[in-house]
A and B are shown apart, each in its own frame.
Chain A
Amino acid sequence: MNRHDLLLRIRGLFLRRRVEEELDEELRFHLEMATRKNAAKGASGAEAARLARVRFGGLDPVKEECRNVRGTQLIESTIRDIGYALRGFRRSPLFVVTVIGTIALGLGLNTAVFTLFNYIVLRPFPVRDPYSLYAFTWADRLHREQAFSWHEFENFRKNNPAFSEVAAFHYFFARAEGRPLTGALVTGNYFQMLGGGATLGRTLLPEDTSAPGREPVMVLSYAAWQSKFGGDPNILGRKLALHGYPLVVVGVTQPGFGGLDAAPIEYWAPITMTPLLENGLNIFGSENSALPLIVGRLKRRISISQAEADLAGWTRQVTADRPESERAARAFLRSKATVVRLSAKVLAVFSPLAAAVGLVLLLACANVANMMLARAMARQREIGIRLSLGADRKRLVRQLLTESLLLAVPAGLAGFLVSRVAIEVSLRIMFATLPPNLVEIAPRISLPPDIRVFGFMLFAALVSALVFGLAPAVQSTRADVMLAARGEFTSDIRPMRLRNTLVVVQITVCALLLITSGVLIRGEGSMRSFDVGFRTHGVIAMFVAEKSRPLVMARIRSEPMVQAVATASSIPLDGILPPLSISAGEGTKVFDAWYNHVSPEFFSLLEIPILEGRNFTADEARSGAPVAIVSELTARRLWPKGDALGHEIFTRQDGKPSPQYPAARVIGVARNIISCSIPYGPDPPLIYFPAATSKHALLLRVNGNVDIARRKLETELATLGSEDIEESHTIEQSFALSVYPFRAASWVGSMLGGLALLLTVSGIYGVLSYLVTQRTKEIGIRMALGASTRAVTGLVMRQSMRLAAVCIGLGIALALGVSHWFASHLVFVNTFDVFAYGGGVLLVAAASVAAAYVPSRRAARVDPLTTLRYD
């Protein structure tokens, strides 16, 4: 394309009328000259003009070709198509609103899910050059993750071969003036490395972490400053007590900065404060050191595998003075650019949700395709005539697609609103239904849209426009010119087949969603009423700081509402129990097991019966005697003959005899409980070791309302001195929490199922209405030949039922597969839940009947005389 070409094209586009007139004039001049020449040769006036036109050929094709040379054809015809489509829309506003609404719903749900996906997987953290940030870990020969001592870390920070900058931090949850805050204790260069500036005051500096115990300062995030301290302009200089230790607020970060995790960090304090804040936990010696996260900025022009190899080598050298088993064997790097790195596993986690909302969008598209098809069919006569007059089919298809795109654009915008509302409402519902103790520590995440979300929405809108627009466009322009000229279109069987396919897809998807969510809801129900095997009501778990323990214990024992106190190293339903391998002796089979250190009161407090043998004695508890109470399952596994009592149980940890109890005598057998997490199902073999009440977490059984009691205890104990209770919750809260994700999933499932049902009803209704209109003549003839009203109604109903039956069958087959998948991951899902299947099938069948009812009544009202008079 050269300069002339471009100028002429632009001229053709903007001065279209003028250019057209010029073309007209030019051709007219030519014809006039030709006429004149013919006349000169002796032809009469009219004959001369006729000859000139014959010689010239058709004027219009010539003009069209000249326009083609101009190359503005595409734009001009598109503008014409848009005008044409808009005029059509104005005539049928209901159609437009329905289409936009339907597609917007589908797009909105998909965009909402994508927004979440974007937040977790695609969105880089708003820090400087996030793609060069990597978390560094290293493991020993036995694949155990190991930590640096502070000294080693300092060495690493300065001399490692792969990172240009290295920072370390660990998460630290605390309450400040009653406000729960999620924080991080960081090295002083953290903010420099991530490039986060301050809105007020300053961020942390390397000098803040120059020595242990320095510097008692903290920085708040902008979001926390706003939401938890009301944007207090005098926040700088204020002292906030974290775990009873006062830190001075020296700054507020810039808006949007929240560290490197899904849940935004709300405050930062120097990592050198760790020993003071965490009761002597030491990050500075090699002994008992904390495991901070090490994140660094990778040097330029070094590949990940190269960096990992270099770091492994370096770390091996530095840890050479450690015992053989603790030396570094491998180093790992993990990208810290996004919350989670995109991987097959992440996609697998998201795919059920994506598939569910994708199906809803597909349903919406199918519905709209149906409506478009019905509309196109109604215009078939017009299209047929245009085709027979020589209109280009491609041109017609393009015109119909323009219509779809025009509908998709506002649908995309509306869909965006739908997604915002869906996200907002879901977050609110989530907070409203979360177990109360979790609400206050749950991060207030917001899921802001960004360029990727908009891009996705645009893409999804365009794809759906193609999906719902292309099939009807191709279909309706296929009309046989001969038939069209005669005004007969119904003899073409294909539109019906396409429409049936669409409805089949709809009903099938609807059945699938309804049955699957039914199965999930029933699974959730059975989980809620599930007997975990111990008392959950009225029990509080409490974690107490070591130093104030005697004081707290005395206070609790004097409290009248406390009925019983026990201790356990792992609180039931908290989701974590340490593993152990057990065997009945040398050379016998080894089993994986979990263990828990409990005081003798544990069993009576939680009402776990000891079926055989006896409980721990107070002496055994105090001295930590090598005795054990095992669960029924353990006893059955190790001693199938049922003579567990008195035998020795051998335990091994990490392949070595466990240090505390290489062997313990079984003194009792307790009933099986579910003590880890409900969705995991019953525990594997579980072993209890004795523990004194002076250690571990506390379990309290209280009178009256357990939540009120918990709060009362917390406030009363808080008056004792500094903040002694690190955390407390009721077992019922843990129970609720353990069930929660599952409940949420079943809600989402049933909501999508309900939506699908709605779309299906309207889909079936549309198809059958169209069918009745199309077969009016046939129905009229049937009635004229004596068919009863009932027979005619039956005709339509049968059609609907036939479709529904096929789809329900397909839906059941698919649902079996999906439920099986869920069942393989979640114990409480029953793949063959008859009630869920029955309910889903009934709903879909009822919906099909209801949707067919109105069209069938309309068919019954067909007046044979009127119909036969047509044509």
Chain B
Amino acid sequence: MGHESRLDLLQGTLDLLILRTLQSGVGLHGWAISERIEQISQDVLQVNQGSLYPALHRLEHQGWIKAEWGVSELGRRARFYRLTRSGRKQLELETDDWERLSAAIGRVLKMA
């Protein structure tokens, strides 16, 4: 787990990753979301936990995810987040954007 191998998330990409993580439709709490992101990215992406919660609240305010209290796998009360319909649309939009952007950057990097 070397320091060099980890990448801080780009500004704005955290929102996209959160939405993607919730795409399956299963409700997840904050901890699970951050674990999932790190796990899937094979620990390359490090979620700044300090910005995770403000981001979740922001998405909730935008109406893209909604939160409700539930019981965690360990029997503790936790706040579970779920994708809303408009969140799903937003995810598609942002995924498209991201793909276009990364493709473009990729092309530039290869050409130059």
Where the two chains meet, the residues of A that have a C-beta atom closer than 8 Å to any C-beta of B are 2-5, 8-9, 22-23, 25-27, 29-30, 32-34, 55-58, 61-62, 65-66, 68-70
Residue pairs across A and B with Cβ atoms less than 8 A apart, 29 shown, are A3-B63, A4-B60, A4-B61, A4-B62, A4-B63, A5-B61, A22-B69, A25-B79, A26-B53, A26-B79, A29-B31, A29-B72, A29-B76, A29-B77, A30-B29, A30-B30, A30-B31, A30-B49, A33-B31, A34-B49, A55-B49, A56-B49, A57-B49, A62-B54, A65-B53, A66-B53, A69-B57, A69-B58, A70-B61
B50 at the interface (CB under 8 A from A): yes
B44 at the interface (CB under 8 A from A): no
Q: Is the interface of A mostly helix, strand, loop or mixed?
A: helix
- Inter-subunit contact B76/A65 (CB<8 Å): no
- A3–B51 Cα distance when bound, in Å, is 24
Which residues of A are found within 8 Å of B16, using beta-carbon distances? none
- Inter-subunit contact A66/B79 (CB<8 Å): no
- A474–B66 Cα distance when bound, in Å, is 43
- A61–B63 Cα distance when bound, in Å, is 24
- Inter-subunit contact A8/B50 (CB<8 Å): no
Where the two chains meet, the residues of B that have a C-beta atom closer than 8 Å to any C-beta of A are 29-31, 48-51, 53-54, 57-58, 60-63, 66, 69, 72, 76-79
- A34–B34 Cα distance when bound, in Å, is 11
Q: In the complex, how many angstroms separate the beta carbon of A26 from the nearest chain B beta carbon?
A: 5
Which residues of A are found within 8 Å of B48, using beta-carbon distances? 57
Which residues of A are found within 8 Å of B63, using beta-carbon distances? 2-5
- Inter-subunit contact B50/A62 (CB<8 Å): yes
Q: In the complex, how many angstroms separate the beta carbon of B91 from the nearest chain A beta carbon?
A: 16
- A8–B56 Cα distance when bound, in Å, is 13
User: Given A3, A33, A62, which contacts B53 in the complex, CB threshold below 8 Å?
Assistant: A62
Given A5-B63, A69-B61, is A25 in contact with B77 using a C-beta cutoff of 8 Å? yes
Apart from A29-B76, A30-B31, what 12 extra A-B contacts exist at CB < 8 Å?
Answer: A4-B63, A5-B61, A5-B63, A9-B61, A23-B53, A25-B77, A26-B30, A29-B29, A29-B72, A29-B79, A32-B76, A57-B50
Given A55-B49, A57-B50, A66-B57, is A29 in contact with B62 using a C-beta cutoff of 8 Å? no
- Inter-subunit contact B54/A65 (CB<8 Å): yes
Given A2-B62, A5-B62, is A29 in contact with B78 using a C-beta cutoff of 8 Å? yes
Q: In the complex, how many angstroms separate the beta carbon of B80 from the nearest chain A beta carbon?
A: 10
Which residues of B are found within 8 Å of A4, using beta-carbon distances? 60-63, 66
Which residues of A are found within 8 Å of B78, using beta-carbon distances? 26, 29
Q: In the complex, how many angstroms separate the beta carbon of A355 from the nearest chain B beta carbon?
A: 52
- Inter-subunit contact A22/B54 (CB<8 Å): no
Which residues of A are found within 8 Å of B49, using beta-carbon distances? 30, 34, 55-57
Q: In the complex, how many angstroms separate the beta carbon of B6 from the nearest chain A beta carbon?
A: 12
Which residues of A are found within 8 Å of B50, using beta-carbon distances? 56-58, 61-62, 65
Which residues of B are found within 8 Å of A56, using beta-carbon distances? 49-50
Q: In the complex, how many angstroms separate the beta carbon of A70 from the nearest chain B beta carbon?
A: 7
Q: In the complex, how many angstroms separate the beta carbon of A39 from the nearest chain B beta carbon?
A: 13
- A4–B86 Cα distance when bound, in Å, is 12
Which residues of B are found within 8 Å of A22, using beta-carbon distances? 69, 79
Which residues of B are found within 8 Å of A23, using beta-carbon distances? 53
